[in-house]
Amino acid sequence: MAPGKKGSVHGKRSKHHAPRDYAETLNDLTIKSSSDDTDASSSDDEGIKATFSVSMWDLNHCDPKKCSGRKLLRHNLIKNLKLGHRFQGLVLSPVGTQCVSPNDKNIIETFGLAVIDCSWAKIDETPFSRMKSPHPRLLPFLVAANPINYGKPYQLSCVEALAAAMFITGHKSEAKFYLSKFSWGHSFLELNSDALDLYAACTDSKSVLEAQATFLESVKNEQDDRPMWPPSESDSASDS
């Protein structure tokens, strides 16, 4: 799923590196990335299944074998929406003008949560006008833990985006449950624990943005001159 820049599903893109602590965490976490479809082993702390609806618009931009949204669909944990369907709940969408915040908890509990599964390479041809909601939202700064984009800011998969929105709005057990379906899922919460706790302690979108700014400032102050990850294709080459 496309990450968080404006025009992204998750918030405005920053040129800041993640904190140095992230680099240390990256080395400490054990990631089973041989297959995205590998089921996570059972645990006593897998969370609870959401009682609210969870949905997605699948634009078929991703490899079905690597798409976390498709895996959730196979587990009957997400509903696939058709183009033209108006979703009344909260939607993680590039056309969002506000960040997800704890104030959105009631919207999710009443009307549900959805995500738009689209590729940045095809963003200009994505029919957002046919995926409407009264509550489009972006996500603030977070780092991916999925095997494809591990360690990259904003490059979240569908399940990571959904789990982040759940966590920020007070549905932490539900976030754990969805991530537990992936062998690498626990790493997302571990890698982003400080940021997620900051955002979850906020009230509205404005305070989430302020928390994000504070977090990124701490990143700036803590970073050193050594690159923690190789540049992504978007950073090293011009967009086609």
SS3 (DSSP) at 135: strand
Which pLDDT tens digit goes with each residue over 186-228?
A: 999 999 999 999 999 999 999 999 999 999 998 777 654 433 3
Q: How many CB atoms lie within 10 A of CB 208?
A: 27
CB-CB neighbours of 105 under 10 Å = 16
pLDDT-derived band of residue 9, with 50, 70 and 90 as boundaries? very low
What are the residues facing 137 on neighbouring strands? 92
Q: pLDDT tens, 47-76?
A: 889 999 998 876 555 655 667 767 887 878
Q: Report the binding-site residues for S-adenosyl-L-methionine.
A: 68, 116, 139, 154
For 58, the enclosing helix (H) or strand (E) is strand 54-58
Q: Which residues are annotated as a binding site?
A: 68, 116, 139, 154
Confirm if 109 and 52 have CB atoms less than 8 A apart: yes
pLDDT-based confidence at residue 232 (cuts at 50, 70, 90): very low
- pTM of the shown model: 0.72
Instruction: Give the 3-state secondary structure of residue 123.
Output: helix
Per-domain boundaries in the chain: 54-221
Question: In this structure, are strands 54-58 and 79-81 parallel, antiparallel, or unpaired?
Answer: parallel
Phi-psi domain of 60 (left: phi exceeds 0; alpha: psi -120 through 50; beta: other): left
229: nearest Cα among 71, 52, 19 = 19
pLDDT for position 219: 77
Rounded to an integer, what is the distance from CA 99 to the centroid of its chain?
12
Closest residue by Cα to residue 58 from 139, 7, 118, 124: 118
